[in-house]
A and B are shown apart, each in its own frame.
Chain A
Amino acid sequence: MLAFGLASAGGCARRDAAPPGLLRLAWSADPASLDPAHAVDVVGASAVALVYEGLVTLDREGRVAPGIARAWDVDSTGTRYLFHLDPEAKASDGSRIDAGVVRAAFLRLLDPSHVSPRAWVLDAIDGAASYARGEGGELRGVRALSDDELEIRLASPRASFLGLLAMPNAAVVPASGDVSGSVGTGPWIVAARVAGSSLRLERNPHWHGARPGFEAIDVRIIPEEFTRVAEFEVGRLDVLEIPASQSKRFREDPRWGERVQRQVALVTDYIGLNNEDPVLRDVRVRRALNHAVHVERILETILEGRGVRSTGAIPPGIPGGGGGEAYPYDPERARSLLAEARVPEDWVLQLWQRPNPLVAQVLEAVQADLRAVGVTSEILQRDWGALKAAIDRGETPAFLMNWFADYPDAENFLVPMFHSANAGGGGNRARYRNAAIDARLEELERTPDAAARAEMARAVDAAVAADAPWIYLWHPIREAVTSERVKGWTPHPVPSGERWIEAAPRVAAAR
């Protein structure tokens, strides 16, 4: 902080010159692959979303919008989708993206010899699961009725199917199968790449959608947060996601204050509790832990207000999210519940975390709150791979994690995280099992009407929260700032929905 203060105090005004049509971004890691079938992390998904397009996309409000399909019909059973493709949809090599090319892309994602870890995205399609297992046969659920019409039949109604199709994994690769990114079906193509260092993207000349405001994008790979902030400050980056430690400084700095944009992210941060743990399987203990932790105080002090207290798993901004009541801070109630549950005096709760200084501070505060109600805890830090493996194997009594929306639908939060079939690696890290909730979640998946789904989702979320499978924390507020070279941009609610189309160069006024 001191270093930044000193450095910013009297910096000269030299800016790195860049052509007006060039947008300069930084990512924290190099995408391992530009293959939609293997994009499993945020950076990979963001990269794929720029170069490939799916049947549908997500607009800036997070709603499903046309992509390669300009329109679609869904029958009354909710199992037959008919997509009308845009006849102007072309790959960057000029080849037409017709129904046959889309079908081939889906077959590729499900190909058992290709081993895509995201084949489950298309699981709802009739025959997809058995095809992906290598049980042979045709993928009967996807048929090209003509060049412009693609029929998809589902094994059973799935209201979130269009949201799944908007995921980068379901994006359409060109007919040639080239997944290097140099031939794309989306708004950009990869013009140059220096592995580990940079990526240069240029407009896809044949893309059927609105022409992006910028002509090219330079993405630099900068792993360290501090360095990304430095690059933005000296004018070598145009967009910066502001780290929590720099939030106040940027908001109060006259150079950037007005260009800082805040948004409640479609993310939920939580402390998962292993519901199969001998002590934690008692709901009274889990509720007690929720009453013991002063979440509002942590939000105010450690996060400096960059979060919205969560009342359930679904963030506000997703239909069904943001309602209900949070667990009130009530240490007395916590103590009484713990006494009622006869928690052993020598019980030590292990709190696991990834190596992150902010998370460490949060857990230290949680530890102090737990100590105040007589619960001893210890904090363990593990690197991401080890932490995930331990959680998936059920070895972690409590762990601080988060969940990002793949698509803005309540189902994307509730089903992976609370359906018993997903216990472990499927997303239900707390290993929460409740047959009644399972049935309600399955009904939610089948309900097409948006208003009814939202109500149902809200009710299920509240019912699960009453069972306290987690210590509920917050939905983080993300802050981003743009340089003066950029206009017309607002952050996309889903990171992999960002395609840098609306952003445009702000031409400087003549002096």
Chain B
Amino acid sequence: MTAWALRRLAATIPVLLGVTLVTFVLTYLLPGDPARAMAGERYREEDLDRIRRELGLDRSLPEQYATYLGRLARGELGVSFATGRPVADDLAERFPRTLLLAAASLALALVLGLPLGTLAARFAGSFVDRAATVFALLGVSLPVFWTAMLLLSVFAIRLRWVPPSGYVDTSVLAIVLPAVTLGVRSAAVIARMTRASLLDVLGQDYLRTARAKGVGEAGVLVRHGLRAALVPVVTLVGLDFGSYLSGSVLTESIFAWPGVGQYALQAILRRDFPAIQATVLLLAVVFVVVNLLVDLAYGALDPRIRVRPEKAGAS
């Protein structure tokens, strides 16, 4: 298994290299340049030229890319044009915050979505099922910013149960609103997927066998049925977790959560090339790792698709 995982990781290196190349080219194609962003409202052309020289922006694109790859090979992500700090330090500070928010959002999504989807499948066609469907529809239809503002207005301003914004260093409750904003949407999709997948599984023969052997309904549902039904849900969770880790820009901005999403947005607006490139690379690595974990989870959930080294190419 370890050898398989290592081989999988090694296979992603060309992908990551491709990501760096595409990002590099795209950032240079962006209109506006970092030298102007650093120079501010009023500057002299000679100052602009000097800034470009200092940042190495006066060299050709292939030359700059080669320098960038050389730095990457040495484990350096570069220095932010805007702050003058190593980008690695900036990301090391911010990524754990995004990770915390992602974990909280995912936990909420699972705690809400799985039971809801399970109940909807168990009582398919009943009021519970219909209520779950409405919840799911609302969850996926409401735009994130609308949900965020509604939650802010009701729970922070009117009821004063939680602070409107901030990071957990000012108040532990600051995580509640952003986690709910993100988690509710995922919970809705997880509920629908769980319901559909479980309905598919509930009609299977092996569950009838389990009942015949005297396993209680809860045991049939959760231990036998849900476990098999979770495979597509795990894919969904993986995708969602990956997207949370890329930093939900809107949510982080609205709730002033100082994570990777906000950092990426600031970097793009400032044309902070090293920060943009490093952030994209980080997110690519995150997706690779999350996909790997998802594949491993498949095997844990369903022995029929357990990955063996000799079957690595089939997954």
Chain A interface residues toward B at CB < 8 A:
3-4, 6-12, 14, 16, 29-30, 32-33, 35, 38, 40-41, 112, 115, 117-120, 133, 194-198, 220-224, 226-227, 230-231, 233-234, 236, 382-390, 392, 403-404, 416, 422, 424-427
Contacts and interface: CB of A to CB of B under 8 A. Distances in A.
Contacts of B40: 40-41, 117-118
B3 interface: no
A456 B97 CA distance: 56
A365 to B, nearest CB: 26
B23 interface: no
Given A117-B51, A198-B170, A386-B32, A227 B254 contact: yes
B281 to A, nearest CB: 20
Contact of B270 (A14, A32, A194, A198): A32
7 contacts: A9-B158, A120-B42, A220-B256, A226-B149, A231-B163, A234-B156, A236-B164
A219 B60 CA distance: 41
B269 A383 contact: yes
Contact of B156 (A197, A224, A230, A424): A230
Nearest to B47: A117
Contacts of B36: 385, 388-389, 392, 425
Interface in B31-65: 31-33, 36-48, 50-51, 54
A385 B159 contact: no
Nearest to B272: A32
Given A196-B258, A224-B256, A230-B156, A388 B43 contact: no
Contacts of B263: 196
B101 to A, nearest CB: 13
Given A32-B82, A227-B152, A227-B255, A7 B44 contact: no
A382 to B, nearest CB: 7
A434 to B, nearest CB: 20
B158 A6 contact: yes
Interface in B152-173: 152-154, 156-160, 163-167, 169-170
Interface in B176-193: none
Contacts of A386: 30-32
Contacts, number: 164
Given A117-B38, A223-B256, A231 B33 contact: no
Given A234-B156, A426-B42, A197 B31 contact: no
B35 to A, nearest CB: 9
Contact of A7 (B30, B157, B254): B157
B150 interface: yes
Contacts of B133: none
Contacts of B170: 198, 220
Contact of A425 (B43, B82, B84, B256): B43
Contact of B165 (A16, A120, A227, A233): A227
A388 B253 CA distance: 23
